[in-house]
Structure 1
Amino acid sequence: MTLSWKLVIDSTNAPALADFWAAALGYEVEDPSPLIEHLLAAGHIGEEAVTEHHGCKIFRGYAAIRHPDDPYDETSGIGQGRRLLFQEVPEGKSGKNRLHLDVHSERGGLDTLVARLEELGATRVDEVNKGPAGHWWVMQDPEGNEFCVA
């Protein structure tokens, strides 16, 4: 039996990091407004659990993005396929990621992709050359999470 999953990334500003990764990957920021409206109306959550980002109600401390071609629940706005969830945590990043994303460029488009990611707020950390195996960049997102661009 296969299992569904999502990658959860700790952050200090979940909506801002979701915006970065949505732009970087060409994903869509999820709009959980319908679910939030339902939960508020039913009294299951209070207004303190909600904030607004880009005109949409979101759960305070959380934001998610999903692949635009994958299915999602129209009632909740929650993706049912490739998905990243960003959750705010009180502590800052303290070491190297043990899990990271690899972002792949089109053939011959590495420099263009790296430049676009820098314009979005990423930072180059190290260029890795592996001879015939190719080369890639280790980069950091705006909160310092490492990822590779190949």
Structure 2
Amino acid sequence: MALGWKLVIDSADADAIADFWAEALGYEVEDPSALIERLLAAGRIGEEAVVEHRGRKTFRGYAAIRHPEDPFDEVSGVGRGRRLLFQDVPEGKSGKNRLHIDVHSEPGDLDKLVARLEGLGATRVREVDQGPAGHWWVMQDPEGNEFCAA
């Protein structure tokens, strides 16, 4: 039996980096506001656990994105499929990522993809040339996390 999973990524600003990756991948930022309202009303969390981002209540230091076609829980907003969760941590990034995301372009549209990602706040690090097999770009998201655009 296959197991469910999510990729959790440490961040400095979970809401901002979730916005970047949602735009980069065409994903949706999860909306936990209904769950938050229920937890606040029941006294299970306090206002200090909540921030407002883009007009919605979110959990302080956490933001998630999900594939728009995957199922999700209507009450919590939590995706049940392809999902990235960003969580704020106190320490900064200190080295190369051991795990990274590859973003694939349509055939022949790598330059267009790279330009779009740069427009969202990504930066090019270096081009990797594979000769006849093609090339791709190593890039960084706005927090400095490496990823590849191919």
Structure 2 length-normalised TM: 0.99
Equivalent pairs, count: 150
> What is the deviation of 1:96?
0.2
- Structure 1: which amino acid aligns with 2:24? A
Partner residue in 1 for 2:134 = 134
CA RMSD, Structure 1 to Structure 2 (Å): 0.6
2:47 paired with 1:41 = no
SS in 2 for 1:43: coil
Structure 2: runs of 5+ lacking an equivalent = none
Partner residue in 2 for 1:106 = 106
> What is the deviation of 1:42?
1.1
> What is the deviation of 1:132?
2.1
SS in 2 for 1:124: strand
Partner residue in 1 for 2:148 = 148
Partner residue in 1 for 2:19 = 19
> What is the deviation of 1:43?
1.0
CA distance in 1, matches of 2:24, 2:127: 19
> What is the deviation of 1:133?
2.0
> What is the deviation of 1:41?
1.0
Partner residue in 2 for 1:73 = 73
CA distance in 1, matches of 2:33, 2:93: 29
SS in 2 for 1:79: coil
Structure 1: runs of 5+ lacking an equivalent = none
CA distance in 1, matches of 2:136, 2:54: 34
CA distance in 2, matches of 1:62, 1:133: 39
Structure 1, residues 30-49: CA drift from partner, whole Å, max 9, x if none? 10001111111111111110
CA distance in 1, matches of 2:50, 2:3: 29
CA distance in 1, matches of 2:110, 2:68: 23
- Structure 1: which amino acid aligns with 2:124? R
CA distance in 2, matches of 1:91, 1:104: 30
Structure 1, residues 63-106: CA drift from partner, whole Å, max 9, x if none? 01000000000011111110100000000000000000000000
- Structure 2: which amino acid aligns with 1:22? A
CA distance in 1, matches of 2:39, 2:96: 37
Partner residue in 1 for 2:52 = 52
CA distance in 2, matches of 1:9, 1:24: 16
